[in-house]
Amino acid sequence: MTDVDAGRAKYLEKRLLFAVRVVLLGVPLVIQFGVYGLHFLVTQPVYGVELAMYLVLAVIGVSVAAISLARGRVPAVARVVGAVALLVCSVVLSAVLSLDPVPRAEHWSFSLIGWYALALLFDTRLFWFALFVVAHTTISVLPLVINGITVEDFSAVAVIVVAVSGFQVGVAMSALAVRRISASAAQRSLRLEAAAVAEEAAAAAARNRAWRYADLQTTTIPLLEGFARNELDPRDPGVRHRCAVEAARMRRLFGENDKVDDRLVHDLGAIIDVAERLGASVHLSVRGTPLTVPERVRHQLVAPVSEAVVSARSAVRLTVMYTPDRVRIGVRCAATDPSPAPGADVEVTRSVRDGQLWLEVSWRSR
């Protein structure tokens, strides 16, 4: 799983939640500025306290919208402050509005406060919104109960409360379901991406393994067949050299599944182990930050080095140099027979001075 895949799944989840949040914010803003609130303020005489609460609710709505658009979600502190401010508005408006069990135009704030609370508490547990609804409903109904209310009027109030608050709780439950669906969709996307990556990695590993074993068919198998038919003499220096080269190649092949940070140096370590068993003394130095080298290129880099190092029977100096766009492997050892033709992706420079072989194999990453 890559960071890009995880980021894509997280982006989809954020976009879906953002759309829900916009809808939840749009409802109270339309109610306040486009339906009940503005209509009441324009057509009816308004007390100063009521106007102040209207402005406070407007500030809360605009603030929640601005924070949601800028940050994606409302911080916990802002949610607490906003919920307390909404309850204060509920208390004040319940005290100044008329005690009428049948809602009139001046009772615009009852549903509006609930909608703002839903938009504010969208990212929290459903319990907190339900608790807010209970508190807000209690504050709104309590003055009627204290003032005395008939059973018929209480029934009318209950119908209004259930219709408004019950619908808001239902919307909150739907929003919670969308949140869970979005999280589940994001997790499913991550799992599908991980499965696709794992499948592709397994297929690539199988292709590379088949390619490596096919390479052995042209080198190692003929050598073994020569021994089986008594066509090759183990005492022959040329045969022993071929055996050393194939041993190093097979050591690299067996080490492909090892989990290491620097695969190139790991391959060189397998070659060094074979060379030291044959009597060479190898000194390896690595400089720079390792680069990610494609497997085929790595084999092309290592092949000429393997030929030179396993053929040496004395001191060998091996240097790996990493630069931001280039990988170089330098070898200095006793002169040996020329290496095989280099791969198409690498450059090989070879020179012999005073009986010493100077070999450099390089690859440019870009």
Residue ranges and CATH numbers for the domains of the chain are 3-190 (no CATH), 220-364 (3.30.565.10)
Comparing 114-128, 162-176, 256-270, 292-306, which segment has the lowest mean pLDDT?
256-270
Phi-psi region of 216 (alpha: psi -120 to 50; beta: other; left: phi over 0): alpha
- Give the pLDDT score at 176: 78
- Give the pLDDT score at 105: 47
- Give the pLDDT score at 220: 77
- Residue-wise pLDDT for 194-212, tens only, equals 777 778 777 776 776 676 6
Gap between the Cα atoms of 132 and 165, Å rounded? 10
- Give the pLDDT score at 229: 81
pLDDT band (50, 70, 90) for residue 54: confident
- Give the pLDDT score at 338: 64
Gap between the Cα atoms of 78 and 64, Å rounded? 9
Report the relative pairing of strands 315-323 and 281-287 from DSSP bridges.
parallel
Average pLDDT over residues 61-80: 82
Which 3 state secondary structure label does DSSP give 354? coil
Q: What percent of the chain has pLDDT over 90?
A: 3
* pLDDT > 70? residue 47: no
- DSSP conformational letter for 296: H
Comparing 22-36, 89-103, 275-289, 303-317, which segment has the lowest mean pLDDT?
89-103
pLDDT band (50, 70, 90) for residue 315: confident
Q: Which comes out higher in pLDDT, residue 36 or 299? A: 299
Q: Which comes out higher in pLDDT, residue 246 or 325? A: 325
- Give the pLDDT score at 226: 81
Please, are residues 57 and 109 in contact by the beta-carbon 8 Å criterion? Answer: yes
- Give the pLDDT score at 2: 47
H/E stretch holding 362: strand 356-364
For residue 97, which amino acid is it?
L
**Mean pLDDT score of the chain:** 78
pLDDT band (50, 70, 90) for residue 39: low
pLDDT band (50, 70, 90) for residue 27: confident
